[in-house]
Amino acid sequence: MTPSGCEWIVEARGCNEAALRDPVLLNVLFENLIDGMALHPVEPAMWHQFPGPGGITGMCLLAESHLACHTFPEYGSLCLNVFCCRSRNDYDFEACLKHAFGDAVEVRVRKLERPYGQPWN
């Protein structure tokens, strides 16, 4: 078996603007992902809240790699990235994000397998 990791690129649209500016709600989202995916943070998540109508950028360094998000309240959009250095089971990002941002109209999930040492074809 060839070692491989995986990366999820997740986009949620139609989210509530106020929720996308709420650092407490976004931190709870990270906690739920960490617990639900059995991830191992190296340090607590770091957050940057942009001034005025701007959104929030968050990053959590994991033993497995990283968890990051960017919110765009002006577009009702949240972008999430989870990269794990080892394969793991899929996670129900759609249910998680619709629960956290109940009015998310659409959640799109793309999964990329990251095989290490494999030739590119």
Catalytic status, residue 69: no
Q: Give catalytic status of residue 99 as yes or no.
A: no
Is position 85 annotated as part of the catalytic site? yes
Residue positions counted in the chain: 121
**Residues with Cβ < 8 Å from 66, sequence gap 6 or more?**
59, 60, 81, 82, 83
Alpha-carbon distance 87 to 112, whole Å?
11
For residue 53, the one-letter residue type is P
Q: Which of 4, 65, 66, 79 is catalytic?
A: 65
- Of 70, 77, 84, 96, which is the active-site residue? 70
Q: Indicate which residue of 4, 66, 79, 85 is catalytic.
A: 85
Active-site amino acid positions: 65, 70, 85
